[in-house]
Each structure stands twice: as structure tokens, then as C-alpha cells.
Amino acid sequence: MFVTLEGPEGSGKTSQGDALGTVLSAYVPILLTREPGGTELGERVRDILLGFGGPALDPVTQLLLLSAARAQHVREVLRPAIAEGRSVLCVRYADSSRAYQGGGDGVAEAVIEAAIAIATDGLEPDLTIYLDLDPVVGLRRRAMAGTEGAQEGWNRFDARELAFHQRVREAYKRLARACPGRVVTVDADRPFEAVRADILEIVLSRIAVIVRGGAS
Ligand code: TYD
């Protein structure tokens, strides 16, 4: 099973992914990964895109860099893991390009979908958990985390204007409406444990459906 976690800054994707990975790893072999990242190239692209010291990048350039990193991630890590029978949990994937470069920066949908098609080679998640959160709340959480450690610190996307983050959220909501079978929305403006319990229930019920259906 290939599961992605999506959502705006500060919605807790990484911590929730870690928590879910810990529970699931007791039952199935799990690979926990993220985008941009997951490969050496992905981590380098991450530095270029997110670091404040990096070059100015047009949104189409961002899309292509993210897509190059995704192409490598799919071929080097995701497909081999799935072929070995492992379940994959990925924090951010193609929907982030739809939401950020598409919704946030207005790159044409046809361009976004073409880049995603090339990068993913048709590898779609079985399930996407969308952690929905008002960007005002998310950015406040992120700002507070930034004071505690550089790892969770502010990045170039976080620093974009509020209207950008609101467009990103609207794009995620449209996606969730357009793909109700794949994308499940979880209200992330609640205590960590409540969100964690919801995510676990959704994932376990999806596994039960797959097992009943006889799929792998
Ligand atoms: P990260 O620190 O992982 O943010 P978060 O903790 O909120 O997930 O930074 C990843 C950033 O990259 C995030 O701001 C969204 C952006 N991004 C895109 O714009 N498009 C993409 O396709 C991906 C994968 C990420």
C-alpha cells in the first residue's frame, strides 16, 4: 500500500507520519520517506528550493526541479520498495505540486499534470491523508517550532504571503472534493492524539478493504 500525507505548513505531517509508521511497522514492513527528499538528489533539490540562500526560482523551474527529484524518488526508492512488498508512507508527493505550484503560484494545470505524469510514471497513492488546517494557525505553529530547532525552522515557502498559503489550502480542498476515493480529509486543528487516532482508523480501514478485496 502506498500512502501519502499532505497538507499545509505546520499541519503535523511529519510527526503524524512518524507516529503512523511506528504503529504500522509492527505489522508490515514500512518505508517512511518524504518529498522533496528521499534520495541524494531529492535532498539536494530540497536545499536549493527551501534554503533562503538559494537562487531565485520561477514557479515553473520549481515544478521541474521538484519533478526531477520525484522522478528519481519513484524509480530509485518508491517502485523498488513497493515491488519488494513493502508499504510506503510518503510525506508530500504529487499533490503538493498541484497545491503549491498549481494553486499557490498559478502554474497551468496542464503543465502541472504533464510534469507529474512524467515524474510519477503513473505511480499514484492508494490513499492520501490531507491534514486540513487554516494557514494562520499552521504558520503560527511553524514559527513557534522554528524557535526550538533549525530542523523544523522557517523555509522559503513558509515565508510566502498569507494569500499564497490560502490558495494552497483551497487547491487541496478542491483536490479532496475531486478525488473522494483517494483523498481523505482530517481536521488538523485538534490535539495531536485526536488527529493521530483518526489517521490510524482511516489507514486501518483501508487496509481491511484491500485485504477483503484480495489485493496486495
Ligand atoms: P517542509 O519543510 O517539508 O514543509 P512541511 O513541513 O510543511 O511539509 O518543506 C517542503 C516545502 O516544499 C513545503 O513548503 C511545500 C514545498 N513543496 C512544493 O511546493 N511542491 C512540491 O511538489 C513539494 C513536494 C513540496
Cell of 179: 478525488
- Would you call 150 exposed, middle or buried from its count of C-beta atoms within 10 A (0-12, 13-18, 19+)? exposed
Lining residues, ligand 1, CB within 6 Å: 9, 13-14, 35-36, 50, 66, 92, 96-97, 100-101, 155, 157
How many Å lie between the centroid of ligand 1 and the Cα of residue 212?
A: 35
**Please, what is the average pLDDT of the chain?**
92
Atom of ligand 1 nearest to the CA of 69: 24
CA dist 79 and 73 (Å) reads 9
Rounded to two decimals, the pTM is 0.94
Residue whose Cα lies nearest atom 8 of ligand 1: it is 9
pLDDT digits (tens, 9 = 90+) for 3-55: 999 999 889 999 999 999 999 999 899 999 999 999 999 999 999 999 888 88
Question: Which numeric CATH code is attached to 2-214?
Answer: 3.40.50.300
Most confident of 28-42, 46-60, 131-145, 199-213: 28-42
